[in-house]
Structure 1
Amino acid sequence: MNLRALVSVTGKPGLFKLVGQNKTGFILETLDKQKIKSIVNLSTTKLATLEDITIYGQEEEIKLIDVFEAIKAKGDVIDIKADGTALRAFFNEVAPNHDDSRVYSSDIKKIITWYNIIKELPLFDEEAPAPLV
């Protein structure tokens, strides 16, 4: 799974593809069919690449990529409108060692929403590029 160019932007819903950089910030493109481009200012906005996001674990942090792989292997995704108990049960299957006290239902909903956004993208089936050394 190649999530290198996909980012989450603080304060903006959805996910974005990083397509470039200029003097004031990053150029992002929405992942929907409209492909709207926008510029986010580095000094006022936080970006997080999906490949760098981790989830609180009981012993060690869990990479988001590993959770996405587990959801993909499971084959079916729970509806984000399900109640908290059902969401937690689903998440226990795909991330069994997550820390229940620090991973909230809103976090689980966000992860499922992100998965639903990217599951149809070709990046989802690509291998991640080798790390730069």
Structure 2
Amino acid sequence: MNLRGIVAVSGRPGLFKLVGQNKGGYVLESLDAQKVKIVANITTTKLASLEDITIYGEDEDLKLVDVLANITAAKGAVPDAKADGPTLKKFFLEVAPAHDQEKVYASDMKKIVSWFHILKELPLFTEAAPEAIDQDGVKVEEKAEKKPKATPKPANVKATSKAPAKKASMTSKKGV
């Protein structure tokens, strides 16, 4: 599943695709049928990438990507986002059995189900997630497997450097 570039914007319903960035903010395109493009201010708008969102779990947090994958594999019908709380809680016990029932509210469940209904029409579920590559061009997984080489320290190097002190030269001329 590839959710890279899909974000939720605070204060706005729905999901957006991150198109670019300019000096005024992030350029976003809505994922609904209207395809509205907006510029979200960098300083005041909070963006949350869907691949970074987690759900409270009993032992450890659950990734939203895994929960959405479980929803696609669910045998029963996915309830509507406007369904009542008990229906959503019963559904969430099926798709995310390890979620913390005290911390995950029905409003959170409604939001996740509504996001699923937006995303199910897109080819995101069939795409593979792009592999993370660092600035050196090495896959992050390969880099984690390799042990870092110890860099030898040069011998007899002194770390003292004296910068010349600035002289305070404030002179004033009176009555010239």
TM-score, L = length of structure 2: 0.73
Query: What one-letter code is carried by the residue in structure 1 that aligns with 2:119?
Result: I
Work out whether 1:72 is the aligned partner of 2:88: no
SS of residue matched to 1:81: coil
Q: In structure 2, how many angstroms separate the alpha carbons of the residues matched to 1:80 and 1:7?
A: 19
Give per-residue Cα distances to partners, 1:87-127, cap 9 Å, x unaligned.
Answer: 10100110100011110000000000000000010123211
Note the C-alpha offset of 1:131: 1.4
Note the C-alpha offset of 1:42: 1.1
**Bigger proportion of residues as helix:** 1
Aligned to 2:53: 53
* CA RMSD across the alignment: 1.0
**Runs of 4 or more off by more than 3 Å in structure 1?**
none
CA contact (8 A) 2:80 2:114 kept: no
SS of residue matched to 1:103: coil
Q: In structure 1, how many angstroms separate the alpha carbons of the residues matched to 2:98 and 2:67?
A: 11
Q: Whose radius of gyration is greater, 1 or 2?
A: 2
SS of residue matched to 1:26: strand
Note the C-alpha offset of 1:18: 0.3
Note the C-alpha offset of 1:33: 2.1
Task: Work out the number of aligned pairs and report it.
Answer: 133
TM-score, L = length of structure 1: 0.96
**Identical-residue share of aligned pairs (%):** 60
SS of residue matched to 1:11: coil
SS of residue matched to 1:28: strand
User: Which consecutive unaligned segments of at least 5 residues does structure 2 have?
Assistant: 135-176
Q: In structure 2, how many angstroms separate the alpha carbons of the residues matched to 1:4 and 1:95?
A: 22
By relative contact order (CA 8 Å, sep 6+), the higher-ranking structure is 1
User: Which consecutive unaligned segments of at least 5 residues does structure 1 have?
Assistant: none
